[in-house]
Amino acid sequence: MRPRVDLFRGLRFRLTFSYLLLFSALLVVIGLYFRHNLQFQTEGDVRALLEEVWGDAKGYLRIENYRPQWTADQLDPGDAHIMERLRYIILLTDSNGNILVDSPVYESIGIDSLSEIRRIIALPEPEVHVRSDAAGTPYLIKAGVMLDDRGERYFFAVGRSLADSVHTVKTFTTDYFLSLLAIIPLTGLLGWALAGRAIQPVNEVAQAAQKITGSNLSLQIPLRGSGDELDNLIGSFNRMTTRLEDSFEQIRRFSTDVSHELRTPLTAIRGQLEVALFTAQTVEQYRDAMVNALEDVEQLSSIVRALLLLSQAESGQVVLQKTTFDLGEVAEDVVDQFQIPAEEKHVRLTARIEPDMKILADRVQIERLFSNLLSNAVKYTPANGTVQVRIRRDEKKNWARIEIEDTGVGIAAENLPHIFDRFYRVRNAETNLIQGLGLGLSFVAWIVKAHGGQIDVTSTVGAGTRFTIRIPAEAPAGTAVSEDHPAPAEAQRL
Ligand code: ADP
């Protein structure tokens, strides 16, 4: 089934829309720019012509004895043309507004009022402005002063029509913006098609991803081989499903392990109680059955407790209770506790401990760390093997270095990255018969992390394993267990 996406929220629509918006804005800006240039240029031509006409007027028109005198040669075709151009839009008045020369076109624009005439006469320089006639045709008018033979000031104005310029600009504007009305929808369609093509692979990936469910996590989305961002995304997605599959697998295995681990003592308890119920006759026999059942109940509760503690620890609900103590003493105590199980397995357990190794840490957790590592070392070392514990100061100033090395079954390189994962257990001929929940090393990893330390493991299958732990000897007191979850006030102690 194709994933449903709301049209207006879809990537295709948004891509097309933004592209179209940008493209249209760009076309409008370009259009306005050219329109402005065209207007500037055509108006500039009219202005130049007006200046020419103004110059001609000064050369061909004189005022003598209050009367205008034209000095052009009527027979010269050049002069005739100039005169015609000059008389097209012209107005000459005295300072009282009495008209000496004018033209019908100037009249259609409107003869200047007396106050306007006097204002212009008073100006030191001529003035250029735009005026329109009744039909709205714009004209560029230059108005200024003309002196007569006695030095009297007269109002004088000439003009040129701006109709051509306005028409050119108007035609350009209409043509251009009308063509946009066709171009923009066409571009939109093209954009829609292109965006559709661009996101087609995304839809394909989404469809492929939909086929992946919890029960078929092994399905992978095929790479397209284009080496682009989408291929990167598919790669990341595939890696994520592989990790998810691993986690699901771990949880599945864990459920089996937990039920198995819980069932064994439960079956034993049930057996003991049934035997007691049907066969016991004396108080002694009842007591024995109950003692045995209690031992198994104790084993059950320690499994449940371990699970609970680990999830509390990993979710940051446990605060370290730090005190200063001798690391060597704690290690020796734990080594002593493991001497008997080691002897029973014919494994030699030795310890080489540097004296007076004071550290500031949570003693109970450090005991747990030793006990989990030693228990594993003894568990996974066959008869006649050895387990060595070494503790000394690390080259790194003020760090303690703990090494626990065995000559046991070892861990294959492909399993090494997972051994600290919760509930992870290596499954092979050597380890299948050995009991465990796969929680011990998760605890160890958490304890080391909570103390700000580091843990390394090297191992060779069939030869043995070495765990190396380095912990700062004096971590700042009250260090929180988890950086992500500050421990709550009522946090429990392990
Ligand atoms: P478990 O309860 O199974 O021992 P752990 O978390 O303590 O769980 O260890 C995880 C896995 O790492 C074990 O199942 C085992 O396969 C492997 N492992 C741990 N310590 C050793 C060791 N010293 N030698 C060989 N394998 C080990």
Ligand 1 mean position to 425 CA, how many Å?
A: 6
40 and 152 inside one domain: yes
- pLDDT (mean) for 130-139: 91
255 and 278 inside one domain: yes
d(CA 322, CA 37): 81
162 and 66 inside one domain: yes
Query: Are 378 and 434 a contacting pair, CB within 8 Å?
Result: no
427 and 303 inside one domain: no
Residue 406 Cβ < 6 Å to ligand 1: yes
156 and 98 inside one domain: yes
Q: What percent of the chain is modeled with pLDDT above 70?
A: 95
Ligand 1 mean position to 487 CA, how many Å?
A: 29
Domain that holds residue 129: 14-167
CA triplet 369, 443, 438: central angle to 5 degrees? 115
399 and 466 inside one domain: yes
Closest residue by CA, ligand 1 atom 20: 376
The per-residue pLDDT for range 198-217, each reduced to its tens digit, is: 888 888 888 878 887 777 77
Q: Which of 260, 282, 314 is the last residue of a domain?
A: 314
Domain count, the chain: 3
Residue 380 Cβ < 6 Å to ligand 1: yes
pLDDT at 486: 34
Q: Which of 314, 332, 347 is the last residue of a domain?
A: 314
Does 194 fall in a domain? no
115 and 248 inside one domain: no
d(CA 410, CA 283): 49
Indicate the top mutation candidate among 254, 260, 307, 376 to test ligand 1's pocket, ranked by most ligand atoms within 8 A of CB: 376
The per-residue pLDDT for range 286-333, each reduced to its tens digit, is: 999 899 899 889 878 877 887 788 778 777 778 889 999 999 999 999
- How high does pLDDT run on average in the chain? 87
Q: Where are the beta strands (DSSP E) in 272-328?
A: 322-326
Mean pLDDT lowest for which of 37-46, 389-398, 406-415, 446-455? 389-398
50 and 145 inside one domain: yes
Residue 148 Cβ < 6 Å to ligand 1: no
Residue 391 Cβ < 6 Å to ligand 1: no
330 and 411 inside one domain: yes
Residue 407 Cβ < 6 Å to ligand 1: no
Query: Are 475 and 360 a contacting pair, CB within 8 Å?
Result: yes
Does 196 fall in a domain? no
275 and 359 inside one domain: no
307 and 363 inside one domain: no
Closest residue by CA, ligand 1 atom 4: 436
Does 193 fall in a domain? no
281 and 335 inside one domain: no
Does 179 fall in a domain? no
Ligand 1 mean position to 419 CA, how many Å?
A: 7
Burial level of 409, CB count in 10 A (0-12/13-18/19+)? buried
Phi-psi region at 478: left, alpha or beta (left = phi > 0; alpha = psi -120 to 50): left
Residue 310 Cβ < 6 Å to ligand 1: no
d(CA 305, CA 479): 24
Beta bridge partners of 386: 348
